[in-house]
Chain A
């Protein structure tokens, strides 16, 4: 069962939402106001989903948890009490906050939360793909630098330098990029 935490400054107002979540088979583990200790509560209770008011000042608190610790970030579903379409659109387009629920009928709650989680996962994957791509780029840069070093110091041409790097890496059973960065680091120490 999915564990849900509801954050709203007006607890009475979101009572119907809480009830329909329970009716739809969610476990509501917390229903809190714009709570002082929201941060630690979130870490403690480890909800699967956080549902919060789009106008809550605590949104930044949740954003911080998401940015600083992507790994235990939670999908955030937002709702607006006035069911304002513009607000819904805004939060769908930006931010970690995955999806927004207006005043939606109970039977649509589950698909909306599912969609929010799917969207959040997609965002998380995108992020890790991006950081993988950046790592690849960094690796290429360091290999280029190592190649340049060898070319200068051993008077090699580009192809020779590359195959020298590659065979050294194979002999030592390390990744080409790791070897390259060791080489660059070593060269730095020698120069200093």
Chain B
């Protein structure tokens, strides 16, 4: 596609287009032509990011920018981090960009995926890893997916049962000790095989010397049923998003042994997901969705707005949990249920000056490395190629730029995880193969 776009422009201009299009390898033809026309007319200075505001508006006003579809159903699962979808719709950020978002409550991640694929939903609040699982056909048919933006960082956690607390477990080390000494089946729950919680749980267990495949029985329980399952002794621990860790403490059935930000500070969590088909056919709607949700995310992250957001999402039609269960951790007020209270600076973030929202390629690739690590992929996939295909950096950059949200220059970021191992998107195959505990 890049070749097609660059055929009738001069050498220096084609370089400029390369700079533009290389950001977005899945560029659709309409946007491509738009960029080509601009690049042709203004040369290197016409890169969208540096285009004068007036000119840009003129270009968009010329009629290429109207959403192809004006009403979009966006699916969500009742969790605190569905907030950007709810706020975008309830507070009218969607209308500013010419669309109407209809939030649609879903009962399972499997249903979210099915409905995205058949077009019943135009977008969804989705587990990051699940988008990559669908792209690779893990546990289902292969389908080309698209990540429009990241919705949230942090704010998940691992809860252990009171029974383990009574055995003296208070952290990963003591859990390992108890499991070594007391030989029985240990059951841990997460939320979806290729999703994020499965990966946080596995990572945390493995970093503590526990093999999540051999040493524990791994099950999936729907998030709202986690607490009830723990109460009747069905499991020893679970990994889930808030408010279901806070709820376990509130109901006195378990305690927080780790937060997901303990595993990886500012880890990628939920994304605004859709299919590659949808983006190809409706680029303007997709961009409007990003803009509406991005503005909602910016609103939520402002401390003074958080209480109002809690009011909104706690209702029965959304998360359906008491305000004080959602509200504490939502602003960083943590307690672990065994005597520790703290103010966590790395609580659930939705914007963080755009750092949350940018769909870093290295974030997407990380989930592939873990799918490989745990044997869901038999061989190394084309890590970078797949991430470039799924993560819509070009479209995101256009949307963010119009909102004046800063866009990182590098589509990779570097993070040190709890075991001291650094992930920076380089050498993904070696990274995946380098863990001591793996399949």
Q: Which residues of chain A have a CB within 8 Å of any CB of chain B?
A: 34, 36-37, 39-40, 54-61, 63-64, 66-68, 86-87, 89-91, 93-97, 123, 130-131, 134-135, 137-138
B141 close to A90 (CB less than 8 A): no
Q: How far is the CA of A97 from the CA of B118 in the complex (A)?
A: 14
Q: Which residues of the partner chain A approach B111 to less than 8 Å between Cβ atoms?
A: 54-55, 59, 90
- Report if A36-B192 is in contact (Cβ < 8 Å); known contacts: A96-B140, A134-B378: no
The smallest C-beta distance from A162 to any residue of chain B, in angstroms, reads 23
Q: Which residues of the partner chain A approach B107 to less than 8 Å between Cβ atoms?
A: 55-57, 59
A57 to chain B: closest residue by CB:
B222
**A-B contact sample (6 more), CB < 8 A, given A39-B219, A66-B139, A93-B114:** A39-B221, A67-B139, A68-B193, A89-B118, A94-B143, A95-B140
Q: How far is the CA of A88 from the CA of B237 in the complex (A)?
A: 35
Q: How far is the CA of A139 from the CA of B141 in the complex (A)?
A: 26
Asked if B218 is at the interface of the complex by the 8 Å CB criterion, the answer is yes
A137 close to B114 (CB less than 8 A): no
A64 close to B220 (CB less than 8 A): yes
Asked if B138 is at the interface of the complex by the 8 Å CB criterion, the answer is yes
- Report if A37-B234 is in contact (Cβ < 8 Å); known contacts: A67-B193, A94-B113: yes
B108 close to A58 (CB less than 8 A): yes
- Report if A93-B139 is in contact (Cβ < 8 Å); known contacts: A36-B228, A60-B109: no
User: What is the count of residue pairs linking A and B with beta-carbon distances less than 8 angstroms?
Assistant: 100
A86 close to B229 (CB less than 8 A): no
Q: Looking at the complex, which one of B108, B118, B228, B229 makes contact with A60 (CB distance below 8 Å)?
A: B108
- Report if A61-B222 is in contact (Cβ < 8 Å); known contacts: A55-B107, A93-B118, A94-B113: yes
- Report if A57-B225 is in contact (Cβ < 8 Å); known contacts: A63-B193, A67-B376: yes
| Pairs across A and B, CB under 8 Å, 15 listed | A57-B108, A59-B110, A60-B110, A60-B192, A60-B222, A63-B220, A68-B193, A86-B120, A91-B114, A94-B141, A95-B110, A131-B378, A134-B378, A134-B379, A135-B378
Asked if B14 is at the interface of the complex by the 8 Å CB criterion, the answer is no
The smallest C-beta distance from B322 to any residue of chain A, in angstroms, reads 20
Q: How far is the CA of A64 from the CA of B275 in the complex (A)?
A: 22
The smallest C-beta distance from A137 to any residue of chain B, in angstroms, reads 7
Q: Which residues of the partner chain A approach B234 to less than 8 Å between Cβ atoms?
A: 36-37
A39 close to B220 (CB less than 8 A): yes
A64 close to B378 (CB less than 8 A): no
Q: Which 3 A-B pairs have the closest CB atoms?
A: A64-B220, A67-B139, A57-B222
A64 to chain B: closest residue by CB:
B220
Asked if B411 is at the interface of the complex by the 8 Å CB criterion, the answer is no
Q: Which residues of the partner chain A approach B141 to less than 8 Å between Cβ atoms?
A: 93-95, 123
B275-294 interface bits toward A, Cβ cutoff 8 Å, 1 = contact, 0 = none: 00000000000000000000
A63 close to B192 (CB less than 8 A): yes
Q: How far is the CA of A37 from the CA of B111 in the complex (A)?
A: 21
A60 close to B117 (CB less than 8 A): no
Q: How many B residues are at the interface, by size bracket?
A: 35 or more
Q: Which residues of the partner chain A approach B117 to less than 8 Å between Cβ atoms?
A: 90, 93-94
List which B189-236 residues lie within 8 A (CB) of chain A: 191-194, 218-222, 224-225, 228-229, 232, 234
B111 to chain A: closest residue by CB:
A59
A64 close to B108 (CB less than 8 A): no
B118 close to A94 (CB less than 8 A): yes
Q: Which residues of the partner chain B approach A34 to less than 8 Å between Cβ atoms?
A: 222, 225
Asked if B115 is at the interface of the complex by the 8 Å CB criterion, the answer is yes
Q: How far is the CA of A68 from the CA of B120 in the complex (A)?
A: 28
Q: Which residues of the partner chain A approach B224 to less than 8 Å between Cβ atoms?
A: 57
Q: How far is the CA of A37 from the CA of B230 in the complex (A)?
A: 11
The smallest C-beta distance from A88 to any residue of chain B, in angstroms, reads 10
Q: Which residues of the partner chain B approach A58 to less than 8 Å between Cβ atoms?
A: 108, 222
Q: Which residues of the partner chain B approach A123 to less than 8 Å between Cβ atoms?
A: 141
Query: Which of A90, A93, A96 has the largest count of B CB atoms less than 10 A from its CB?
Result: A90
The smallest C-beta distance from B188 to any residue of chain A, in angstroms, reads 12
A61 close to B219 (CB less than 8 A): yes
The smallest C-beta distance from B321 to any residue of chain A, in angstroms, reads 15
Q: How far is the CA of A54 from the CA of B108 in the complex (A)?
A: 9
B139 to chain A: closest residue by CB:
A67
A64 close to B376 (CB less than 8 A): no
The smallest C-beta distance from A141 to any residue of chain B, in angstroms, reads 9
Q: Looking at the complex, which one of A56, A66, A96 makes contact with B108 (CB distance below 8 Å)?
A: A56
Q: How far is the CA of A87 from the CA of B376 in the complex (A)?
A: 27
B133 to chain A: closest residue by CB:
A67
Q: Looking at the complex, which one of B113, B225, B229, B378 makes contact with A95 (CB distance below 8 Å)?
A: B113
B115 to chain A: closest residue by CB:
A90
Q: How far is the CA of A66 from the CA of B139 in the complex (A)?
A: 7
Q: Which residues of the partner chain A approach B219 to less than 8 Å between Cβ atoms?
A: 39-40, 61, 64
The smallest C-beta distance from B74 to any residue of chain A, in angstroms, reads 16
